[in-house]
Amino acid sequence: MRLVFLGPPGAGKGTHAQILVEDYEVPQISTGDMLREAIRRGTPTGKKAQECMDKGMLVPDDVVIALVKERLGHDDAHKGFILDGFPRTPDQGASLDAMLAELGMPLDMVCYFKTSQATVVRRLSGRWICSQCGKNYNVVNFRPKTAGICDTCGAKLIQRPDDQEETIKKRLAIYEEQTAPLIGYYRNKGILAEVSGDLEVKPLDAAIRMAFSARTAGKAN
Ligand code: AP5
């Protein structure tokens, strides 16, 4: 399974990647999670990324491309991966093509989560994440067992700094301008599958799995 999850902030890319990787036993490669981890650890990459992320802007292509290139070289990525939040610009898309061609690992499918703005705003304003392990919760439909505490590691839940209303608007505008052109790019390559990001978790998970099965069955014929 070699997938890219493409869609606006809050579409459910991270949540649905976490569900799928358990069954398919491939890593979720989330550039957002990798950058937040770099910020937590205070690395040079984290220092470069923090200001852009807090403002809802994209981190420079060269920084993100280097992270993904390094990560795709790990052994666990050779049996497959779900790229969550990468690529996000046409230059990142071209770099990914080059990296995967070099590794002999072409993409099976790009899953595009077509999602309304109302859904995005509702989900992001209700999202809480674990300050330690990054696990996602939501005040509407994914509440922790104990309020404010992560079920998995017991750490405190926090809101992401970029989930403030003004920053969400900025992230959506940047998505339309810089990331949405990738939809046409992958459609032209014949590997785009569109699902509705407005669906609740179970039907959306089923739609992603169905799209993947159809895609792999098509390749086998
Ligand atoms: P990143 O962390 O990738 O954020 P994003 O793409 O903006 O996406 P989100 O994590 O906000 O949303 P999601 O689609 O994963 O939704 P989620 O599953 O969490 O990036 C953050 C920042 O890092 C960027 O702004 C940029 O600065 C930088 N960055 C990252 N990658 C970069 C790159 N390639 N290039 C340059 N800069 C980069 O779900 C949201 C909420 O909804 C959760 O609470 C969840 O519980 C709930 N939910 C999810 N699915 C459903 C569902 N089906 N039904 C109901 N609720 C749901």
- Structural fold of domain 2-220: Rossmann fold (3.40.50)
Cβ of 86 closer than 6 Å to ligand 1, yes or no, is yes
Decide: 22 in ligand 1 pocket, CB within 6 A. no
pLDDT for 96 equals 98
Residue 85 has pLDDT above 70, yes or no: yes
Residue 61 has pLDDT above 90, yes or no: yes
pLDDT of residue 3: 97
Q: Which strands form 157-158's sheet, in the order they lie side by side?
A: 136-138, 127-130, 157-158
pLDDT at 141: 82
CA of 127 to the centre of ligand 1 (A): 10
Catalytic residue positions, numbered: 13, 88, 127, 160, 171
Helix (H) or strand (E) holding 213: helix 201-220
Evaluate if residue 221 carries a pLDDT over 60: no
Take atom 26 of ligand 1 and give the residue whose Cα is closest: 58
Residue 201, pLDDT score: 94
C-beta 38 within 6 A of ligand 1: no
In order of 37, 74, 165, 213, the CA distances from 82 in angstroms are 18, 14, 28, 15
Q: Whole-prediction pTM value?
A: 0.93
**Is 31 touching ligand 1 by the criterion CB < 6 Å?**
yes
Distance from the alpha carbon of residue 183 to the mean position of ligand 1, in angstroms = 17
Q: Is 93 in the pocket of ligand 1 (CB under 6 A)?
A: no
Q: Is residue 218's pLDDT more than 80? A: no
Q: Give tens-digit pLDDT for 101-134.
A: 999 999 999 999 999 999 999 899 899 999 988 8
For 138-162, how does the pLDDT look when each residue is reduced to its tens digit (9 = 90+)?
988 889 999 999 999 999 999 988 8
Ligand 1 centroid to residue 213 C-alpha, Å: 24
pLDDT above 70 as % of the chain: 98
Rounded to an integer, what distance in angstroms lies between the CA atom of residue 42 and that of residue 211? Answer: 39
Residue 149: count of CB within 10 angstroms of its CB: 14
Name the residue of 34, 55, 59, 151 whose CB sits within 8 Å of the most ligand 1 atoms, as the mutation to test its pocket.
59
Q: What are the tens digits of pLDDT across the range 155-212?
A: 999 998 888 888 899 999 999 999 999 999 999 999 999 999 999 999 999 999 999 9
